[in-house]
Each structure stands twice: as C-alpha cells, then as structure tokens.
C-alpha cells in the first residue's frame, strides 16, 4: 500500500490511478470493444498458430510418434486449435459489434479528461499498473458519465486540449461501447491543438469532484 500512496503524490496532475478515481466517486466501464479491436491478433495468437502448424506438419508427415504418447499429441493439438479459433472468432465478434454500434446516429459527445493508470485487476485487487488509457467525460450533463479509449499496455499516453470524442453505446448493455476520438470534430484547429502528455495539464479530478458536490 505504501507504493500506491507514494505514487498518488508523485503522479502528474492529469494522471490518476484507477483505484484513486474510484475512491473519488468516478467510475467507468473499461472499453472492451475498442481494446480488443485495437490489439488485433496478439503475439500469443501467432505463437499458438506456429505451434499448431508444426503439429499439423508432424501429422501429415507421419512423425507424430515423436511424442511420448499419441494422447499427449492429440491433446496438445486440440488445445492449440481451440485457442487459435477462439482468438480469431473473438476478434471478429468485437469488430462486428463495433461496426454495429457506430451506426448509431445519436452518439454521446465526450471530451478528453485525464490519463488513467489501470491498477485494478479482474478480481478487484490493487496491483502495479501495467496498462493505461485516456479517460473521457460526457459533456453537457450535470451528472456526466465517464468512458475510456482503448486500453494499451504500458503507461505512455497523451491527448489534446479540447479533444472531443463520440461514444457509441449499446443501449441494452451499457458495458459495451465504442469511442471515436480520431474523426470526431475538434473545438480547435489541427494547427493550434496542444498535445498533453503524461506530465502536463492543470485540471484535476479532485477539483471537479469538489465543484460538482458544491453545485
């Protein structure tokens, strides 16, 4: 816990731990759709694909007997095939969802708000952050919702001043959404846009939380 308390004090003013934001009352559903689509077929997929092709080569050349037993060979073959198919089908599924969501003609307008270091694991425990994303806040609302861009490995992130985005959300399942910040209309010209990195920007989540509570 000492590590994370120290990190909160040392972080730049526009960068926050996910756990810290939750304590400040700011919660969001991670952007699963864009995260899966942006990562595409990972190195794990290609490693398993290479292993699968090697196993199939042994099969078609009648050399699978090099394994201690045929059961172990066919078990490994089945596992590799299952994972390769699962990775590919999963990617195509989320690509289909993203295309479907972006047909919505009434997206939610959002603006870039902060950089978030994802220090929460799947079971809710706090861990050293290895992933990060840009947090966007809904505009024109007294109780704004928060959304994220695609989650990336590492902590290098940036966004632009006054950068707007559009969120295409599944009305039946709000956990599924796609955020488009690349083609969304910007409030300033491309020439005058200022890029904010992990070490810039003065706006803080705490100040906005206090302001919203007083309002």
**Do 130 and 28 reside in the same domain of the chain?**
yes
Residue 47's domain spans which residues?
37-96
Among 80, 96, 112, which residue terminates a domain? 96
Distance (Å, rounded) from C-alpha 185 to C-alpha 111?
A: 11
Distance (Å, rounded) from C-alpha 108 to C-alpha 98?
A: 15
Mean per-residue pLDDT over the chain, rounded: 80
> What is the pLDDT averaged over residues 62-90?
84
Instruction: Report pTM.
Output: 0.74
Predicted confidence band of residue 103 (pLDDT cuts 50, 70, 90): very high
51 pLDDT higher than 70: yes
Q: What is the pLDDT of residues 153-210, one digit of tens each?
A: 887 777 777 788 999 999 899 999 999 987 655 555 555 556 666 644 444 444 444 4
Among 81, 96, 111, which residue terminates a domain? 96
**Do 89 and 120 reside in the same domain of the chain?**
no
112 pLDDT higher than 70: yes
* Tokens read off for 145: 């919702």
Q: With the C-alpha atoms ordered 199, 202, 208, 210, is the resulting torsion angle positive or negative? A: positive
**Do 125 and 60 reside in the same domain of the chain?**
no
25 pLDDT higher than 50: yes
**Do 85 and 113 reside in the same domain of the chain?**
no
Give the chain's domain count. Answer: 2
Among 66, 81, 96, which residue terminates a domain? 96
**Do 125 and 200 reside in the same domain of the chain?**
yes
> What is the pLDDT averaged over residues 85-106?
94
11 pLDDT higher than 60: yes
Share of the chain above pLDDT 70, in %: 76
With contact defined as beta carbons under 8 Å apart, do 41 and 88 qualify?
A: yes
**Do 193 and 112 reside in the same domain of the chain?**
yes
């Amino acid at each position: 816990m000492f590590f994370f308390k120290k990190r909160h004090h040392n972080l730049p003013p526009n960068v926050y731990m996910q756990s810290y934001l939750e304590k400040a009352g700011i919660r969001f559903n991670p952007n699963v759709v864009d995260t899966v689509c942006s990562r595409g077929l990972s190195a794990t997929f290609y490693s398993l694909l290479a292993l699968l092709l090697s196993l199939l080569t042994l099969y078609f050349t009648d050399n699978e007997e090099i394994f201690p037993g045929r059961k172990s060979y066919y078990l490994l073959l089945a596992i590799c095939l299952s994972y390769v198919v699962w990775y590919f089908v999963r990617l195509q599924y989320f690509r289909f969802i993203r295309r479907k969501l972006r047909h919505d003609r009434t997206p939610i307008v959002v603006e870039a708000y902060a950089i978030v270091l994802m220090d929460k694991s799947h079971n809710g425990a706090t861990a050293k952050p290895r992933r990060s994303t840009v947090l966007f806040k809904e505009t024109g609302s007294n109780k704004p919702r928060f959304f994220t861009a695609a989650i990336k490995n590492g902590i290098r992130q940036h966004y632009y001043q006054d950068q707007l985005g559009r969120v295409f959300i599944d009305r039946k399942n709000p956990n599924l959404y796609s955020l488009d910040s690349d083609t969304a209309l910007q409030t300033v010209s491309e020439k005058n846009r200022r890029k904010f990195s992990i070490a810039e920007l003065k706006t803080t989540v705490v100040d906005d939380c206090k302001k919203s509570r007083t309002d």
